[in-house]
Chains A and B, each alone.
Chain A
């Protein structure tokens, strides 16, 4: 098989059950090898158990099946990952697959390949026609909603300048003797950098989009009995976790969805981090650390009456290394001198911790300040839903990433003084991927632009 490798989620995204990610194409097996670890080895038509690993960390326990070409749905090498359902984990595995060389499948593409490779039989094809039609209709409805608005005009605008650049390059190639300004490499590079930056910004909104759609995942950490459950209760404004003054009461992670302004907080209460012989408590601690992979924000609570220990700093360092946002709260300020807070501040600032809030949960002091801080951190209060651009579609993100890849290549080509037609190949590819988002054809555009922008002829 010589076609490139495609991937998509083969089941509807939902929060329960099992999801399937299907990969098809010449590199399927090599790709799975990179991200899937198991004691058994993959054999055609067998399902084996193992884990999906990203940066040497486990994402999920999964079942993977392998169908060797031509005995598969598409007729190509196909691998299917059965992972635990839920938007987050499924999406994350799909992204990992895409990062490792697959491209997101277009609607109906698996069926298209199945057909091209002669794998479709009579009974299937009718069902697939229905499926494709349905899918296209829904997709187009969703797409047109997005296309009506911000994304369409933004991509159009991004593309416009690249098409203009292409037209400029092409005119210098197709009309070499005309006295148009030659394309200046430095100017082209400036434009490329600008575009890369703009596209990266849009890609970044994918995260924001996810947060707005699914909420901010918050973990409340701290040593036992510093007030983690109390804080959760205050935020939730009703008693959910069991609160006692005996350390280690909260044995499991309690999830709670709380609205703060426009943001949804998914709060995980956690067992205290400390060394303990209690076996149940130990499982809780492990779970807590594992949970950090899914977390956007950690609220770390310290007890104003206790000293900050090396262990706290170690844990905080881990959090920061993961790129998770952090707020440190000094609780029980009602029990100490106010000046103690300054001591904490000094010590924490030395360790590069910036957001520090005093709090007295028992007196309801500092709760509002914390809420405000969260809103500021995820600056959704100044996010203009109506007018600002945000992407939520992983296909769009994938295409944008490809566009960046080729823009970077173009810039590299300029650095190594490659000829202008090579640079144009990269820019054309980038423009094509952007065009795929909004369904436009680059070569037609370039030719039209040449005639619009440049004065040529006999």
Chain B
């Protein structure tokens, strides 16, 4: 090997892995003008969806919108390739409305590959990286399995579940990445050699079943929304998207028989027999987990989701398993509609190496190794959207690192991306981390509908949002401001006609002049049913009406959250320098000194979220800071 040294290229940024994190990272870097290389073990798995064929959902849809506002690609790619679209939680308040699409898995890959291929400054290679080259605690390049060396100023590791991937099906286990692709077996050792701590997580996926062998008449059809709302701000007026023909999903249930099969064969489950050592996520338990832990539930929901338009493969959401193959087939066949099923791909569990995310800085750079960034599932997260969000931020920050600029760090009050990264880095995680709306303290502010309002300015400043798009955004912003202003200043008079309309809606009548905004505040009234009372309403985009309505209706709550955010920011703005040696601050508890020295938080606010750092420790820190030491 040593006598065969050769170099195939010099880059600014190298991205290892081209999944959802890797693609965003590579695109961001290239778009910001850096010479970028993207490496993937198999080019046909670029932006693959090895688990469910869908993008978005609660809080994940929020992430996609935020990625879009910052100039990322996921939203656009999802818009190009969805085959069903649904806004979830419509009855539950605007903060939790969540967009979710079913994607054509292959088309998603093809569309993303096309974008990557045509991106200036970006080279794509099919190659397994086996070594990260570090000199003086600074990355300098990578080495491929064949032996080529590539040099770079920054490296982003986005290896997903490939690192020492091991697939487990019943008593059988073998080295493999997801979807039958080669695992990356050598890179783990290289990471350990340069001082990166590794641990092992586990996740799993259900079987894929041919729909031709299903009797879907025994299931409930789940259609998409009639009114399609795209993910990307740039597609707001895209007619093709709005008129796209959709496919359906189907709902069925496990049966007593399914549960009996599982109970009878529990001893053959690798989790219960101890063959799986990785830590699995609580939120996506296998079907055997569910049957054991929730034994009182007579049945569990299963969603049958198509993998694409030109395939009959169906994903059985809700029934991931690591049971032996011959048990699996019995289990699936005990489900109404699946009696004659054959498994095109069996369900499996997969174990993989990942890092302890608390060893990263909030910029996603590894502490102690300059220029080494991590993004996606290797950081202990799970989910395509969580990965993409990290990939985008890692890409942006790798570029800024090279340019000697401060990293872009979103805080918890600005974006779900901020919550995600702060949770991973500051609090850490002991299981694959999934985003949830309940993880956000400021949910009412971090809505999916206002992601562009929250983040487009920043995206433009970073350089990923084009001037054309920015102009369009400013126009929308102005429309919203004007519309809110109009609602506040327009008075509806208590005429007979007005009261007749109110009565018809089922709202109480008015006796004096009332502002439109005050009417809108009533829970029984909204933009739609007020149309008749609002004859001078200008013609504006639906998204403008939506923002104005939310701003008016939730004014009190928004004000409350803004005040909370203001208080939160005070501690967030008290910066802590990396040079501080917490061992020297005697007022701190022993545990706080250790944790603070390990994590080196950026601000007093971040320090306060580290477990083991008490309010008393925070007071000491504040006073320490005041002494200007």
Give the B-binding residues of A (Cβ under 8 A): 2-4, 106-108, 111-112, 115-116, 118, 120, 122, 125, 128-129, 132-133, 136, 166, 170, 172-179, 416-422, 425, 443, 446-447, 450-451, 455-458
Interface size class of B (residues with CB under 8 A): 35 or more
Determine the chain A residues whose CB is within 8 A of the CB of B319 once the complex forms. Answer: 458
- Closest A-chain residue to B440, C-beta based? A443
Closest-CB distance, A419 to chain B (whole angstroms): 3
Determine the chain A residues whose CB is within 8 A of the CB of B283 once the complex forms. Answer: 450-451, 456-457
Determine the chain A residues whose CB is within 8 A of the CB of B300 once the complex forms. Answer: 455
Bound complex: CA A122 to CA B587 (Å): 16
B272 part of interface (Cβ distance < 8 Å): no
Bound complex: CA A455 to CA B205 (Å): 16
Closest 7 CB pairs of A and B: A419-B93, A457-B284, A421-B93, A451-B282, A455-B294, A170-B438, A108-B619
- Known A111-B623, A418-B523; judge A443-B616 contact (CB<8 A): no
Closest-CB distance, B321 to chain A (whole angstroms): 10
Which one, B51, B88, B95, B619, contacts A421 given CB within 8 A? B95
Determine the chain A residues whose CB is within 8 A of the CB of B441 once the complex forms. Answer: 443
Determine the chain B residues whose CB is within 8 A of the CB of A455 once the complex forms. Answer: 285, 290, 293-294, 297, 300
Bound complex: CA A419 to CA B90 (Å): 10
- Interface segment out of the listed B68-76, B193-201, B563-571: B563-571
23 A-B interface contacts by CB (under 8 A) = A2-B566, A2-B567, A3-B567, A106-B615, A111-B619, A116-B574, A125-B623, A125-B626, A133-B587, A170-B436, A172-B92, A173-B438, A174-B436, A174-B438, A418-B523, A419-B93, A443-B438, A455-B293, A456-B284, A457-B281, A457-B318, A458-B205, A458-B319
Bound complex: CA A4 to CA B570 (Å): 12
B615 touches A447 (CB 8 A): no
- Known A425-B557, A456-B284; judge A174-B59 contact (CB<8 A): yes
- Known A3-B570, A128-B623, A455-B285; judge A174-B523 contact (CB<8 A): no
B219 part of interface (Cβ distance < 8 Å): no
A458 touches B290 (CB 8 A): no
- Closest A-chain residue to B287, C-beta based? A457
Determine the chain A residues whose CB is within 8 A of the CB of B281 once the complex forms. Answer: 457
A443 touches B619 (CB 8 A): no
B363 part of interface (Cβ distance < 8 Å): no
Bound complex: CA A257 to CA B563 (Å): 49
Closest-CB distance, B155 to chain A (whole angstroms): 32
- Closest A-chain residue to B204, C-beta based? A458
Closest-CB distance, A432 to chain B (whole angstroms): 10
Closest-CB distance, A458 to chain B (whole angstroms): 5
B622 part of interface (Cβ distance < 8 Å): yes
B303 part of interface (Cβ distance < 8 Å): yes
Determine the chain B residues whose CB is within 8 A of the CB of A450 once the complex forms. Answer: 283, 436, 438
Determine the chain A residues whose CB is within 8 A of the CB of B570 once the complex forms. Answer: 3, 116
A2 touches B437 (CB 8 A): no
- Known A106-B615, A446-B438; judge A458-B320 contact (CB<8 A): yes
Determine the chain A residues whose CB is within 8 A of the CB of B436 once the complex forms. Answer: 170, 174, 447, 450
Determine the chain B residues whose CB is within 8 A of the CB of A136 once the complex forms. Answer: 616
A458 touches B318 (CB 8 A): yes
B32 part of interface (Cβ distance < 8 Å): no
Bound complex: CA A54 to CA B587 (Å): 42
Determine the chain B residues whose CB is within 8 A of the CB of A111 once the complex forms. Answer: 619, 623
Bound complex: CA A3 to CA B564 (Å): 9
Determine the chain B residues whose CB is within 8 A of the CB of A451 once the complex forms. Answer: 282-283
A447 touches B439 (CB 8 A): yes
A447 touches B438 (CB 8 A): yes
Bound complex: CA A2 to CA B567 (Å): 8
Closest-CB distance, B436 to chain A (whole angstroms): 5
A174 touches B95 (CB 8 A): no
A173 touches B301 (CB 8 A): no
A174 touches B443 (CB 8 A): no
Determine the chain A residues whose CB is within 8 A of the CB of B98 once the complex forms. Answer: 176
Determine the chain A residues whose CB is within 8 A of the CB of B96 once the complex forms. Answer: 173, 421
Determine the chain A residues whose CB is within 8 A of the CB of B95 once the complex forms. Answer: 421
Closest-CB distance, A214 to chain B (whole angstroms): 30
- Closest B-chain residue to A421, C-beta based? B93
Which one, A132, A172, A174, contacts B616 given CB within 8 A? A132
Which residues 441-496 of B have a CB within 8 angstroms of A? 441, 443-444
Determine the chain B residues whose CB is within 8 A of the CB of A176 once the complex forms. Answer: 58, 88-89, 92, 98
Determine the chain B residues whose CB is within 8 A of the CB of A128 once the complex forms. Answer: 623
B623 touches A179 (CB 8 A): no
Closest-CB distance, A30 to chain B (whole angstroms): 16
Closest-CB distance, B103 to chain A (whole angstroms): 15
- Known A179-B301, A458-B320; judge A173-B284 contact (CB<8 A): no
Closest-CB distance, A448 to chain B (whole angstroms): 9
Known: A108-B619, A174-B59. 12 other contacts (CB 8 A): A2-B563, A125-B623, A125-B626, A129-B623, A133-B587, A172-B92, A173-B92, A178-B301, A425-B444, A443-B438, A450-B438, A455-B285
Determine the chain B residues whose CB is within 8 A of the CB of A166 once the complex forms. Answer: 438
Bound complex: CA A447 to CA B285 (Å): 15
B620 part of interface (Cβ distance < 8 Å): yes
Bound complex: CA A383 to CA B95 (Å): 48
